[in-house]
């Protein structure tokens, strides 16, 4: 199974790239995590944010692989404990289909992305900066894998 992290935003700070890469490389080949960065619309004074969000949403949805289960990450989504995330990942592994995790930009995900999602999850009730989400998500996926595999990382 491949997990496609489709995230709005490019040119992340080095600590974000390093943190994400560290956890992504720890995952086994049967649970590969790949990142697809979607360029954010240019936010200038007086920019049409509704149009920017709609355009970003179209680019995000175009990056979703066919037949992938789509999960939108949104502050108001369903909150999962780590063991629940592990169970969800394990169930997806059993299905054999890829997973696409959608992360929005500064204004969140476009309504079209939320409508397309099979589920909406929340990493926290806090509003997290979208670069931070990449690192937290990669770490939590690795932690979920450690539960599935019975390794001592998750204690």
Q: Give the residue numbers of the binding site for S-adenosyl-L-methionine.
A: 73, 104, 123-128
* Whole-angstrom distance, CA of residue 14 vs CA of residue 31: 24
Task: Please say whether the beta carbons of 105 and 130 come within 8 A.
Answer: yes
Is 49 in a helix, a strand, or coil? helix
* Whole-angstrom distance, CA of residue 119 vs CA of residue 95: 16
The count of other CB atoms within 10 Å of the CB of residue 150 is: 7
């Amino acid at each position: 199974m491949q997990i496609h992290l489709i995230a709005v935003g490019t040119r992340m700070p080095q600590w974000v790239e390093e943190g994400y890469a560290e956890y992504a490389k720890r995952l086994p080949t049967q649970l590969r995590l790949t990142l697809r960065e979607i360029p954010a619309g240019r936010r200038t004074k007086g920019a049409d944010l509704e149009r920017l969000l709609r355009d970003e949403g179209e680019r995000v949805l175009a990056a979703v692989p066919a037949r992938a289960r789509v999960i939108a990450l949104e502050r108001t989504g369903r909150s999962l404990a780590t063991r629940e995330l592990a169970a969800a990942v394990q169930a997806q592994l059993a299905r054999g289909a890829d997973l696409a995790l959608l992360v929005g930009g500064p204004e969140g995900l476009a309504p079209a992305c939320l409508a397309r999602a099979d589920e909406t999850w929340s990493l926290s009730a806090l509003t997290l900066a979208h670069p931070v989400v990449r690192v937290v998500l990669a770490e939590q996926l690795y932690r979920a894998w450690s539960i599935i595999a019975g390794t001592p990382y998750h204690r």
